Amino acid sequence: MNAAAPSDDTLIRIRGLTTVLSGKKVFDALDMDIPRGKVTAIMGPSGTGKTTLLKHITGQMRGDAGQVQVDGKNVPELGREALYALREKIGYLFQNSALLTDFDVFENVAFPLRQHTSLPEVLIRNIVLTKLQAVGLRGAAQLAPSELSGGMARRVALARAIVFDPMLILYDEPFVGLDPIALNQVLKLIRTLNQTLGITSVLVAHELDAIKQVADRVFLIANGKVVAQGDPKTIAGDGSPWTRQFFGGEADGPVPFQYPASDYAEALGFPRSGA
């Protein structure tokens, strides 16, 4: 708790995080340091708990052991009020955007402002239009979420996530399902937000090419541990069997092709010793 001062270079410090979900160890004494003011990417095979890790950072889930310090506060120990105070400083971009279907684009972006402040309407309007202009959707302010394409919805969600000028934005699979144009738009936004506002960004993604363009640091997690970390441009060549399989896209390797199962021959009814 007392290890991190606010001026620390490390914004998120995870130590010995262990989480067991329905009998399966999702994290096994995971350690991770996410630097302040940088773009950090978390990669890993599907099902290794990358999104679950983000949920630990926001306090939606709590581990069975270990610490998750965000800006010097240990998230699992925070009470409701303190946790909500912390969350106001964190933006979160959902994979499916999670816009509120009750409201139009403008009200979606204005939602956090209306809930947490009692700013005059003029000011809210100006802030919202500024953020929408930043993501290039000021003209779409009156549209309903159902009228937006996937890429537009994600940009609206991004505008909503930054409406409070957070210190940290968590992106959960921001590139999935986007066409190359929309992907580049989102990519550009992530970079701009990081560079102009100094917002620390954490991405969970699979697209190495995209990550190479924005991320300063990459963590590769598998089997509940960080198996490789480093610069995105060089990590693929660091010689570890994990990175070779993951970035080389090999079907079999440290991540087995077969889901753990009983003996194949036995399952088919053959005698164990073989015919």
Partner 1 sequence: MNARIERDNIVTQSLGQIGACGLFLLQILAATPRSLRRHVRETVRQLWFVGAMSLTIIMVCGLFVGMVLALQLYHVLSIFGGTAATGTVVAISIYRELGPVITALLFAGRAGTAITAEIGLMRATDQIAAMELMAVDPLAYVAAPRFLAGLIALPLLCCVFSALGIFGGHLVGVTWLGIDNGTFWSNMTATVDVWQDIISGVVWKSLAFGAVVALIAVFQGYTAPPTSEGVAYATTRTVVASSIAILALDFVLTAFLM
Answer left, alpha or beta for residue 177, where phi above 0 means left and psi between -120 and 50 means alpha: left
Considering beta carbons, is residue 169 or 228 the nearer one to partner 1?
A: 169
Considering beta carbons, is residue 63 or 91 the nearer one to partner 1?
A: 91
Site for partner 1 contains 106 (CB under 8 A): no
- Residues with Cβ within 8 Å of residue 25, at least 6 apart in sequence: 18, 19, 224
Q: What is the largest CA-CA distance in the chain?
A: 81
Count of residues in the chain: 275
- Whole-number minimum distance, CB 85 to partner 1, in Å? 7
Which of the residues 142 through 171 are near partner 1 (CB under 8 A)?
160
- Whole-number minimum distance, CB 221 to partner 1, in Å? 22
Considering beta carbons, is residue 12 or 236 the nearer one to partner 1?
A: 12
Considering beta carbons, is residue 98 or 182 the nearer one to partner 1?
A: 98
Site for partner 1 contains 98 (CB under 8 A): yes
What would the two tokens of residue 221 be? 């997690």
Site for partner 1 contains 84 (CB under 8 A): yes
Residue of 132, 116, 202, 133 lying closest to 167 (CA atoms): 202
Site for partner 1 contains 100 (CB under 8 A): yes
Site for partner 1 contains 58 (CB under 8 A): yes
Site for partner 1 contains 105 (CB under 8 A): no
Site for partner 1 contains 99 (CB under 8 A): yes
Contact 25, 18 (CB under 8 A): yes
Q: Judged by CB under 8 A, which stretch of 68-76, 83-91, 199-207, 241-249 contacts partner 1?
A: 83-91
Query: Judging by DSSP bridges, how do beta strands 73-74 and 168-172 pair with one another?
Result: unpaired
Residue entry with tokens 């940290």: 168
Contact 242, 254 (CB under 8 A): yes
With CB under 8 A as the rule, give the number of residues binding partner 1. Answer: 22
- Whole-number minimum distance, CB 96 to partner 1, in Å? 6
- Whole-number minimum distance, CB 241 to partner 1, in Å? 33
- Whole-number minimum distance, CB 263 to partner 1, in Å? 22
Site string for partner 1, 8-47 (x = CB under 8 A): --------------x-------------------------
Footprint of partner 1 (CB under 8 A): 22, 58, 60, 80, 84-85, 87-88, 90, 92, 94-96, 98-101, 111-112, 115-116, 160
